[in-house]
């Protein structure tokens, strides 16, 4: 006992005190490194007493070592010393190559891959944290700390992991005035005004958080881009951010406005086949790489929602992408071209348009182009089927685009853990081969691509808690973990996050994980059950607007999506309707073309169903629909009740904020339910099923609600 420092004793005492003693504001995210139980802390003293680098220090190894010191100090009360001596209890940190030279036979490791295991070197029992490269070592350090945080004993550790995708990117929809499109967590964390002279230290914590979950790149600016981002002053600002992120293995990317050669280059055209345009982009790329040698590349939203693009010159998306790809190729960069396109002039089912445009281009893209496809064919709805492009473009690397920020799922105040949504998309069977899931398309294994990636539209802002709410941090977390392993389990990741972020009490963990796992389904139920979509109010997308039918474009109106009338509801996308089903592989199309074999959660996405038609359980569609709305409200009420039991386990600030947000969510769920039932009843003319309460507000009152100052818009 005399070897236990006073600090440890203090920490051990602290462990017996209620966790409420810590004031927590969420800033530390999942990297809290709180004191470990005594037995584990003691084991760590023995097994993690020093940190030794296997090779000369690089900026990345330096931050990896610093993180180990910080984490172990937090968990045990004693910081391991940095030494150069191999002795019992050392953590040897570095690349596998250096360790092999030192006599450890680790074998070849891929870039970003890591091994964490016990080993004997020079007669000493040590822990090895080895990476395929320095970033691999950094990921290994975080994996080690994560395992300890989950209760692992240091002697038992034996882990090896490599990422399933190469580009694991956040997409910030951040504007140069620091507003964030669809952002609900304050202002942009990029303070363009003071950059590059002042770099907010917070950016270091942003980088740490991302590295801890394997995110290795970030697109700094909105896909609805300003050309100004590509001017010299803004390149210098981006370079300052890149310098800060680089040690953490993160690369910077920029959204490029296709018409930039005209707007900031003085050219008359942005035609991708015009040699002067191509030359301008080559020059621009060289200028960027001069300032940011490891610049990742360009993300492009073209010919979508009014953005300029190659089609303005009667060129194809491939012409545009390949011209930019040629500009960044000499520097090792990529072009990430978005498939989120739909055109006002095109009267075809909007859910079909991306496939219609891109499928014929398969095989025509340059080798450094990735096509970034949203998880579903519409637009980040609470539930959509998987996007039919997954599996339909075998010659093109397809990158997944998820939305982490909850534009269509109640902003930051509604609790909706997105792990199940991501998991549902990733484990969807594309039908192009046995067990050919979307995850296997994304990770390149299905079609043999080495260039792979996943992007998440960030929910990060200047709010102290980064994401606008405690539980929205979990969505950032699960995105990173699933980008690393697209086949990972949403539940396992939720539990991992809860233990690091909120509490380790087993009962409380179970309760919270259950809440999280059911939350997205509750949102689906009170907003858009049974395959409905896009019933949100106009513009800001908060709250119900199923009645909206006045917007200039047909496919901006909720009535376009639900198509409810006196007979029934739903969008016929079968072979008798818009034929969208045939965009899927035949085996999938066949199943979705038939009401009886379409999964109930997607019924109205693919089919038009009469109000009185009976579903497999014997209830009519009308009864089922109303029942789902009621269920959604009850599910939120149940979440609130569960959260109420957790006060003893959660620190005051995060507990009460979540409690208040759940109250908002319950009120909003009721509002959604009331509005949708009242509206659909006005259309269906059916009486409310027995025992169902009428809406507390009239349809007229509900329609009159307006929120011109909703955030993020
Ligand atoms: C929609 C958003 C809009 C984005 C667009 C996109 O409402 O703000 O610009 O997606 O992904 O969902 O480009």
pLDDT of residue 347: 83
Q: Which of ligand 1's atoms lies nearest the C-alpha of 181?
A: 8
Helix, strand, or coil (residue 116): strand
- Mean pLDDT value across residues 260-289: 98
In this model, does residue 21 exceed pLDDT 80?
no
Over pLDDT 70: what percentage of the chain? 97
Ligand 1 centroid–CA 402 distance in Å is: 12
Q: Which residue, judged by its Cα, is nearest atom 10 of ligand 1?
A: 379
User: Model's pTM, two decimal places?
Assistant: 0.96
- Asked if residues 130 and 140 have their Cβ atoms less than 8 Å apart, the reply is yes
Q: Give residue 111's pLDDT band: very low, low, confident or very high (50, 70, 90).
A: very high
Identify which of 340, 555, 556 to mutate to test ligand 1's pocket (most ligand atoms within 8 A of the CB).
340
DSSP for 360-428, please give it: GGTT-S-TTEEEEEESSSSSS-SS-PPPTTTTT-TTS-EEEEEE-S-TTTTTTTS----HHHHHHHHT-
Does 224 contact ligand 1 (Cβ within 6 A)? yes
Tokens of 379: 């637009």
- Asked if residues 280 and 288 have their Cβ atoms less than 8 Å apart, the reply is no
Instruction: Based on the residue annotation, tell me whether 67 is a catalytic residue of this protein.
Output: no
Pair type for strands 124-131 and 114-121? antiparallel
In this model, does residue 149 exceed pLDDT 90?
yes
604 cis-preceded (ω within 30 degrees of 0) = no
Ligand 1 centroid–CA 223 distance in Å is: 8
Over the chain, what is the mean pLDDT?
95
Q: Give residue 12's pLDDT band: very low, low, confident or very high (50, 70, 90).
A: very low
- Asked if residues 478 and 422 have their Cβ atoms less than 8 Å apart, the reply is yes
Cβ-proximal residues to 109 (8 Å cutoff; 6+ apart), any chain: 95, 96, 115, 130, 131, 132, 136, 162
Q: Rounded to an integer, what distance in angstroms lies between the CA atom of residue 236 and that of residue 226?
A: 16
- Asked if residues 488 and 437 have their Cβ atoms less than 8 Å apart, the reply is no
Exposed/middle/buried for 567, CB within 10 Å: 0-12, 13-18, 19+? middle
Ligand 1 centroid–CA 667 distance in Å is: 27
CA neighbor of 703 nearest in space, from 537, 531, 502: 537
Q: Rounded to an integer, what distance in angstroms lies between the CA atom of residue 230 and that of residue 220?
A: 12
Q: Rounded to an integer, what distance in angstroms lies between the CA atom of residue 212 and that of residue 206?
A: 10
Q: Give residue 6's pLDDT band: very low, low, confident or very high (50, 70, 90).
A: very low
Q: Which of ligand 1's atoms lies nearest the C-alpha of 304?
A: 13
Ligand 1 centroid–CA 433 distance in Å is: 32
Instruction: Based on the residue annotation, tell me whether 379 is a catalytic residue of this protein.
Output: yes
In this model, does residue 329 exceed pLDDT 80?
yes
Q: Rounded to an integer, what distance in angstroms lies between the CA atom of residue 309 and that of residue 317?
A: 8
Of 457-461, 548-552, 660-664, which range is least confident? 548-552
Q: Looking at 305, 594, 612, 701, which residue is catalytic?
A: 305
In this model, does residue 242 exceed pLDDT 50?
yes
Q: Rounded to an integer, what distance in angstroms lies between the CA atom of residue 585 and that of residue 100?
A: 47
Ligand 1 centroid–CA 453 distance in Å is: 20
Does 379 contact ligand 1 (Cβ within 6 A)? yes
Q: Looking at 24, 384, 407, 555, which residue is catalytic?
A: 407
CA neighbor of 35 nearest in space, from 172, 160, 149, 175: 149
pLDDT, tens digit (0-9, with 9 covering 90-100), for 374-398: 999 999 999 999 999 999 999 999 9
Q: Which residue, judged by its Cα, is nearest atom 11 of ligand 1?
A: 340
pLDDT, tens digit (0-9, with 9 covering 90-100), for 449-475: 999 999 999 999 999 999 999 999 999
pLDDT, tens digit (0-9, with 9 covering 90-100), for 65-80: 999 999 999 999 999 9
In this model, does residue 17 exceed pLDDT 60?
no
Ligand 1 centroid–CA 265 distance in Å is: 27
- Asked if residues 444 and 438 have their Cβ atoms less than 8 Å apart, the reply is no
Q: Rounded to an integer, what distance in angstroms lies between the CA atom of residue 144 and that of residue 399?
A: 29
Identify which of 223, 309, 350 to mutate to test ligand 1's pocket (most ligand atoms within 8 A of the CB).
223
Does 181 contact ligand 1 (Cβ within 6 A)? yes
Tokens 């200047």 found at: 462
Q: Which of ligand 1's atoms lies nearest the C-alpha of 301?
A: 13
Over pLDDT 90: what percentage of the chain? 95
Does 542 contact ligand 1 (Cβ within 6 A)? no
- Mean pLDDT value across residues 357-368: 98
Strand partners, 517: none
In this model, does residue 16 exceed pLDDT 60?
no
pLDDT of residue 124: 97
Identify which of 173, 354, 404 to mutate to test ligand 1's pocket (most ligand atoms within 8 A of the CB).
173
Does 408 contact ligand 1 (Cβ within 6 A)? no
Does 481 contact ligand 1 (Cβ within 6 A)? no
pLDDT, tens digit (0-9, with 9 covering 90-100), for 681-695: 999 999 999 999 999
Ligand 1 centroid–CA 457 distance in Å is: 10
Ligand 1 centroid–CA 182 distance in Å is: 8
Q: Which of ligand 1's atoms lies nearest the C-alpha of 457?
A: 11
- Mean pLDDT value across residues 282-297: 98
pLDDT of residue 553: 86
pLDDT of residue 122: 94
Q: Looking at 379, 496, 630, 668, which residue is catalytic?
A: 379
Instruction: Based on the residue annotation, tell me whether 623 is a catalytic residue of this protein.
Output: no
């Amino acid at each position: 006992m005399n070897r236990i420092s006073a600090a440890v004793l203090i920490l051990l005492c602290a462990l017996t005190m209620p966790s409420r003693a810590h004031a927590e504001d969420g800033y530390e995210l999942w990297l809290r490194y709180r004191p470990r139980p005594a037995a584990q802390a003691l084991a760590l003293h023995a097994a993690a007493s020093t940190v030794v680098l296997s090779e000369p220090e690089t900026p990345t190894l330096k931050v990896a070592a610093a993180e180990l010191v910080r984490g172990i100090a937090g968990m045990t009360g004693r910081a391991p010393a940095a030494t150069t001596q191999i002795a019992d209890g050392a953590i040897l940190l570095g690349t596998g190559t250096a360790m092999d030279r030192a006599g450890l036979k680790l074998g070849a490791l891929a870039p970003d891959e890591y091994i964490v295991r016990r080993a004997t070197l020079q007669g000493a029992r040590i822990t090895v944290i080895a990476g395929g490269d320095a970033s691999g070592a950094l990921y290994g350090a975080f994996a080690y700390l994560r395992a300890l945080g989950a209760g692992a004993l240091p002697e038992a550790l034996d882990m090896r992991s490599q990422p399933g995708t190469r580009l694991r990117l956040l997409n910030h929809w951040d504007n140069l005035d620091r507003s964030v499109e669809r952002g609900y967590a304050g202002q942009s964390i990029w303070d363009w005004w003071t950059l590059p002279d002042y770099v907010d230290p917070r950016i270091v914590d942003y980088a740490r958080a991302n590295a801890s979950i394997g995110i290795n790149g970030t697109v700094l600016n909105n896909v609805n881009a300003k050309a100004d981002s590509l001017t010299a002053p803004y390149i210098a600002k981006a370079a300052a951010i890149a310098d800060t992120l680089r040690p953490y293995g993160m690369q910077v990317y920029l959204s490029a406005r296709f018409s930039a050669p005209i707007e900031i280059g003085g050219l008359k055209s942005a035609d991708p086949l015009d040699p002067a345009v191509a030359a301008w982009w080559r020059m621009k790329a060289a200028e960027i790489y001069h300032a940011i040698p490891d610049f990742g590349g360009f993300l492009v939203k073209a010919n979508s929602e009014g953005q300029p693009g190659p089609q303005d010159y009667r060129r194809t998306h491939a012409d545009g992408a390949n011209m930019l790809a040629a500009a960044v190729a000499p520097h090792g960069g990529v072009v990430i071209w978005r498939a989120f396109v739909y055109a006002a002039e095109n009267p075809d089912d909007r859910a079909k348009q991306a496939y219609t445009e891109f499928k014929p281009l398969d095989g025509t893209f340059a080798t450094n182009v990735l096509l970034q496809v949203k998880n579903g064919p519409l637009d980040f709805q609470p539930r959509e089927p998987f996007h039919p492009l997954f599996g339909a473009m075998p010659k093109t690397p397809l990158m997944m685009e998820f939305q982490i920020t909850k534009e269509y799922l109640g902003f930051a105040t509604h609790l909706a853990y997105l792990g199940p949504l991501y998991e549902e998309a990733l484990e969807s069977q594309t039908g192009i081969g046995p067990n050919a899931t979307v995850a296997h398309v994304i990770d390149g294994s299905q079609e043999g691509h080495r260039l792979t990636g996943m992007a998440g539209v960030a929910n990060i802002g200047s709010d102290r808690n980064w994401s606008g709410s405690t539980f929205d941090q979990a969505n950032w977390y699960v995105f990173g973990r699933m980008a690393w392993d697209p086949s990972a389990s949403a539940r396992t990741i939720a539990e991992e996050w809860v233990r690091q972020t909120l509490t380790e009490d087993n009962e409380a963990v179970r309760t919270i994980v259950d809440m999280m796992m059911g939350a997205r389904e509750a949102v689906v139920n009170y907003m858009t059950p049974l395959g409905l979509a896009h019933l949100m109010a106009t513009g800001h997308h908060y709250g119900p607007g199923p009645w909206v039918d006045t917007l200039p474009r047909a496919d901006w109106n909720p009535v376009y999506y639900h198509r409810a009338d006196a007979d029934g509801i739903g969008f016929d996308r079968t072979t008798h309707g818009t034929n969208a089903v045939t965009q899927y592989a035949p085996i999938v199309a066949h199943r979705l073309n038939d009401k009886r074999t379409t999964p109930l959660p997607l019924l109205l996405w693919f089919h038009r169903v009469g109000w009185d038609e009976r579903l497999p359980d014997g209830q009519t569609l009308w009864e089922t629909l109303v029942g789902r709305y009621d269920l959604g409200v009850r599910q939120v009420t149940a979440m609130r009740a569960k959260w109420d039991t957790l006060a003893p386990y959660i620190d005051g600030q995060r507990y009460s904020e979540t409690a208040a947000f759940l109250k908002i969510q319950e009120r909003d769920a009721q509002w959604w339910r009331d509005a949708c039932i009242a509206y659909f009843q006005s259309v269906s003319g059916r009486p409310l099923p027995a025992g169902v309460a009428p809406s507390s507000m009239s349809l007229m009152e509900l329609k009159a609600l307006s929120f011109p100052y909703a955030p993020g818009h």
